[in-house]
Amino acid sequence: MAMTDLLSAEDIKKAVGAFSAAESFNYKKFFEMVGLKKKSPEDVKKVFHILDKDKSGFIEEEELKFVLKGFTPEGRDLSDTETKALLAAGDKDGDGKIGADEFATLVAES
């Protein structure tokens, strides 16, 4: 399954483009712009599984760095600061990674 099976390619392009500058990433605005906030919980979990590149059931810090590339190959890598901020926002149980339920909560809270 591709990200464009769930989200509009145009919305993805606009959202990724809006955060192309270093240190500009805002996950709340990004999730809204990309259309993820309007999706069903099932679709949000499908997006999570696309972003979980190693299929571990979690999105670890190393995977978070490439979260924009998970939406489109043209996306940039997040900086260490942006990656740590996203992890801190999503990691509700403090285990150093984001699970599917934590990701769903992160999207819902944005």
- 80 annotated among ligand-binding-site residues: no
- 20 annotated among ligand-binding-site residues: no
Enumerate residues 6+ apart whose C-beta is below 8 A from 12.
3, 4, 34, 71, 72
- 91 annotated among ligand-binding-site residues: yes
Report which of 64, 80, 56 is spatially closest to residue 27, judged by C-alpha positions. Answer: 64
- 77 annotated among ligand-binding-site residues: no
- 95 annotated among ligand-binding-site residues: yes
- 54 annotated among ligand-binding-site residues: yes
Annotation: binding site: 52, 54, 56, 58, 63, 91, 93, 95, 97, 102
Annotation: binding site for Ca(2+): 52, 54, 56, 58, 63, 91, 93, 95, 97, 102
